[in-house]
Amino acid sequence: MNVSALSEWIFAYVSILLGGILFCVFYTEIRRRRFEPKGTDDNVFRCSECAYVYTDDPTVDRARCPQCSCMNDKFTF
């Protein structure tokens, strides 16, 4: 077997391995997107009195804390 044929076999072997890895990456990403829970558009609130973190509808700018009933503004990250 000459050097040219050997390098072709090595190239084919590496290409098949990388193709298999690439297939596994795409397959895993597709399954993750299909079964992972979707994010919500709810607003996040953090109570200024008791530091409780909660969510409410996206149309609400101020919400009452379920723990201590204090009114709070949206929390921005």
- pLDDT tens, position by position, 20-49: 999 999 999 999 988 888 877 889 999 999
d(Cα 1, Cα 8) in Å, to the nearest integer?
Answer: 11
Question: Quick one: DSSP state of residue 77?
Answer: -
Domain boundaries, the chain: 1-36, 43-73
Residue 1 pLDDT? 65
pLDDT at 74 over 80: yes
Mean pLDDT in residue range 37-64: 89
54-68 as b/e: b if 16+ CB within 10 A: bebeeeeeebebeee
